Structures are given as C-alpha cells and as structure tokens.
C-alpha cells in the first residue's frame, strides 16, 4: 500500500513540475468568445501580420512540453519559433527568461506582437502573443496552437503582464 501511495505522490509532483505551460482550454470550449476555431486576422500592424503567418502555419500543432517544432510546441517554444521565423528575432527560450528580458508593457499599452503572461497555480507559467482585439495566440496544453480571448473566463483573471521585444 505504501508503494502505491508513493507512486501516486511521485506522479502528482511530476504533473506539478511539468505544468510549465499549463492552461485549461477545455474549460473554455463552451465559451464562443474565449476561443476562435476559424480566426480571421484584422490587418494593421506589420509585426502582427508576420506573426499571424506563423500562427496559420502552426495552428492546430499539438502541445508538447519542451517542444519547438510543428511536431509539438510548449507555450514558450511556439513564441520563440514564431518570433525567429517571422521577425528574425531570437527570444529567451523560457517563460521566466522572457519575463526577465523583455520591456515591461503596462496593461493599457499592450500592442499586437507583445508577449502576454498568465499566472496559473500561483506562478507566471503560461504565455502567448497578443494579436490585437483582445486576442492572443499560444500553445495550449489541451488544444495545441490556438487563438484565445484575453477576456475569456479562464484567462481574464489570470493575466499577469506583458513584455515587448523590439
């Protein structure tokens, strides 16, 4: 019995550790404004237009912890790949490093192309790329690369800040 408990505890701790880009998109599936199944981009920002092309290329790619390719992305892996391929910029590989190196953007000043961060389980551990109109693209643990709404009921209370990389 103690081995079963120990095994369960190890699985529990592992899931906490591996939840680095945690999100719960499944909770949003019933909220039409929270997730866009066939998004249409509103042009106007050159940076966002280039990043949009990366989104179109990778939309639906599965989630994979540590992933940086179409075979699977985690949230920061998708962001670094999109920035590198679309803008020729090299960003820090992890969410925590992005928080350390980017220029702080106040919530009212977020622009398309900025990186938005979310607090999950008390930690800044999920990120996406803001695209304008309260939408952001990201690699969700349950749905892969998708677009969501900052005002969706899962995300609105978890938004923790934004950074800009120019």
Residues classed as catalytic: 75, 126, 138
**What angle separates helix 75-87 from helix 46-58, to the nearest 10 degrees?**
120
- The DSSP result for 54-97, as a single string, is HHHHHTTPPB-TT-EETTEE-HHHHHHHHHHHHH-----SSHHH
Instruction: Enter the tokens of residue 117.
Output: 């961060």
Cβ atoms 74, 64 nearer than 8 A? yes
């Amino acid at each position: 019995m103690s081995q079963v408990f120990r095994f369960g505890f190890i699985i529990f701790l592992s899931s906490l550790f591996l939840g680095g880009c945690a999100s719960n998109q499944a909770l949003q599936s019933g909220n039409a404004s929270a997730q866009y199944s066939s998004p249409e981009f509103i042009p106007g920002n050159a940076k966002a237009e280039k990043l949009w092309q990366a989104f179109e290329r990778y939309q639906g790619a599965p989630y994979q912890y540590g992933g940086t390719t179409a075979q699977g992305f985690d949230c920061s892996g998708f962001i670094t790949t999109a920035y590198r391929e679309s803008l020729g910029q090299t960003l820090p590989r992890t969410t925590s490093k992005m928080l350390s190196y980017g220029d702080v953007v106040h919530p009212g000043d977020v622009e398309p192309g900025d990186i938005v961060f979310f607090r999950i389980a008390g930690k800044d551990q999920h990120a996406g790329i803001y695209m304008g109109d309260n939408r952001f693209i990201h690699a969700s643990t349950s749905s892969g690369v998708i677009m969501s709404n900052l005002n969706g009921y899962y995300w609105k209370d978890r938004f923790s800040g934004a950074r800009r990389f120019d």
